Amino acid sequence: MKHKLWGGRFTKRTDPLVERFTSSIGVDHRLARYDVIGSIAHAKMLGRCRIIPSAESRRMVRGLERLLAAMRQGRWKVNPSAEDIHTQVQQGLERLIGPVARKLQTARSRNDQVSLDLRLYCRDAVADLSREIRALQHALVQLASRYRSVVIPGYTHLQRAQPILLAHHLLAYVEMLERDSRRLADAKARINVLPLGAGALAGTSLPIDRRYVARLLGFPAVADNSMDAVSDRDFALELIGVLAGLGIHLSRFAEDAILWTSEEFGLLALDDAFATGSSLMPQKKNPDVLELIRGQAGVIIGHLTGFLTVMKGLPMSYNRDLQWDKRFVFESVDASRQALAVLAGLLRRVRVRTERAEALVASDALCATDLAEHLVGRGMAFRDAHEVVGRAVALAQRQGKSLRQLGLPALRRLSSRFDAGALKVLDPRRSVARKRSLGSTNPAQVARALARWRARLR
């Protein structure tokens, strides 16, 4: 039992089945750096508070820094037979500096330690994810700028609704990503609370200085209740919650883009480097990347649901169930980071088929609302205008004509308020240009939004 952090009261070897079942090194080795960083702060505090001689504290810090350097240089190897990362770091330190390393666990339990490690990991993950969200926003803004004058049909209920600028559609996703980014920043406030010093659950009789450790590790706050400190995983749940929201946004974008790559829409041409083929049908060029992103949202939602379910019945305070937390967190963060990166890459190389966009907006029924608003401008109540234009649309359909082909005389038979300007509004480019409300698809407003985003993302 010598290799364990807790062997003293046991008289039998742990059953190998139990060893394997309880081990977490296969997952929590990813916390290695953070375990050492937290241990350095803890060792410094032990010396400063005279809980151990300062020479021993310095020796521990030097040893831990060597471990950290080895990790940074890729010279550190996971020991699969260690119970968990905390055990392996402790053993690694003992090998470097001898038995004095055994003082590192003074006034510390793995319960407060693992929460600290995970918080440090989450803090870095938030920084990485925020950067990658910005990069994706940037790619969307670039694409929108490149095709700033392209008009496409806008849809509700997946039925053609009104003409919009493609750039306006793309900027909607930039806004969605901005909310994800702000939610990440908010989540950081809950991540950045120091659990260390809670001990196993009750605190410690030794004269530790938690505020000093918090300062060293850049935590603005210290957990106020030691029992909450070791049993709380809200910060991690919140992070995965944010990632589930982000996943939904990426999935919805992927769905739009998948539709647009189909021949029926034909709006997008994926670069060959970002598409895949079929093993059977030689002609196929498939949007697998986008489909995997769409599916991944389901995986992350599953992690959130799984994690919530693990948490829901736990009695106070630490319970080993909590060990499952890391899998949910790591896999959600990895999935999100991959999706953000590959989507940004795909967008940088995608081509919009502008000739197809022209064809898609050619039908002037898309401008029926503009025609109704034309009548409103000439004093008609909108309900009546809606009715009149509805009848015009039905008439055109019966005669197999466009609204424009009906001609002014036919329109005037439906309402004398139609005047010479009526046919002119039946134009997709004019339709977007006529929009004037704040936040609309009006080209001048979209250009201003693009400029604003470009400045913000620089």
Active site residues: 157, 278
Q: Is 9 in the site for ligand ARG (CB under 6 A)?
A: no
Q: Is 344 in the site for ligand ARG (CB under 6 A)?
A: no
When the beta carbons of 253 and 318 are compared against ligand ARG, the nearer one is 318
Stretch touching ligand ARG by CB under 6 A, among 249-257, 290-298, 319-327, 417-425: 319-327
Candidate residues 2, 9, 320, 436; the one interacting with ligand ARG per rule CB under 6 A: 320
Q: How far is the CB of 198 from ligand ARG (least distance, A)?
A: 12
- Distance, in Å, from the CA atom of 252 to the CA atom of 440, rounded to the nearest integer, reads 21
- Distance, in Å, from the CA atom of 193 to the CA atom of 378, rounded to the nearest integer, reads 62
- Give the C-alpha distances (Å, rounded to integers) separating 288 from 197, 250, 343: 48, 14, 12
Amino acid at residue number 3: H
Take residue 448 and report the two structure tokens written for it: 């201003």
Q: Is 231 in the site for ligand ARG (CB under 6 A)?
A: no
The number of helices, as runs of H, and strands, as runs of E, in the chain is: 18, 6
277: DSSP letter: -
When the beta carbons of 199 and 245 are compared against ligand ARG, the nearer one is 199
Q: Is 322 in the site for ligand ARG (CB under 6 A)?
A: yes
Helix (H, G, I), strand (E, B) or coil at 352: strand
Q: How far is the CB of 56 from ligand ARG (least distance, A)?
A: 25
Q: How far is the CB of 341 from ligand ARG (least distance, A)?
A: 28
When the beta carbons of 114 and 422 are compared against ligand ARG, the nearer one is 114
Can you state the angle between helices 85-97 and 110-146, rounded to 10 degrees?
A: 110
Q: How far is the CB of 318 from ligand ARG (least distance, A)?
A: 6
Q: How far is the CB of 322 from ligand ARG (least distance, A)?
A: 5
When the beta carbons of 147 and 324 are compared against ligand ARG, the nearer one is 324
Q: Is 24 in the site for ligand ARG (CB under 6 A)?
A: yes
- Bridge-based pairing of strands 268-269 and 193-194 is unpaired
Amino acid at residue number 34: Y
Q: How far is the CB of 239 from ligand ARG (least distance, A)?
A: 17
Sign of CA dihedral 164, 166, 169, 175: negative
Q: Is 346 in the site for ligand ARG (CB under 6 A)?
A: no
In the range 65-84, which residues lie near ligand ARG by CB under 6 A? 84
When the beta carbons of 142 and 323 are compared against ligand ARG, the nearer one is 323
When the beta carbons of 12 and 458 are compared against ligand ARG, the nearer one is 12
In the range 98-127, which residues lie near ligand ARG by CB under 6 A? 110-111, 114
- From the list 44, 39, 35, 185, the residue with the least C-alpha distance to 105 is 39
Cis peptide bond prior to 317, omega within 30° of 0: yes
Q: Is 57 in the site for ligand ARG (CB under 6 A)?
A: no
Q: Which long-range contacts (CB under 8 A, 24 or more apart) does 211-216 make?
A: 212/44, 212/45, 212/48, 212/49, 213/41, 213/42, 213/45, 216/40, 216/41, 216/44, 216/45
- From the list 181, 185, 174, the residue with the least C-alpha distance to 451 is 174
When the beta carbons of 29 and 168 are compared against ligand ARG, the nearer one is 29
Q: How far is the CB of 114 from ligand ARG (least distance, A)?
A: 4
Total interface residues for ligand ARG by CB under 6 A: 10
Q: Are 303 and 332 in contact (CB under 8 A)?
A: yes
> Hey, how many other C-beta atoms are within 10 angstroms of the C-beta on 202?
12
- Distance, in Å, from the CA atom of 123 to the CA atom of 252, rounded to the nearest integer, reads 27
- Distance, in Å, from the CA atom of 248 to the CA atom of 361, rounded to the nearest integer, reads 28
Q: Is 323 in the site for ligand ARG (CB under 6 A)?
A: yes
Stretch touching ligand ARG by CB under 6 A, among 177-185, 274-282, 316-324, 426-434: 316-324
The residues that touch ligand ARG, with contacts defined as CB under 6 A, are 24, 28, 84, 110-111, 114, 318, 320, 322-323
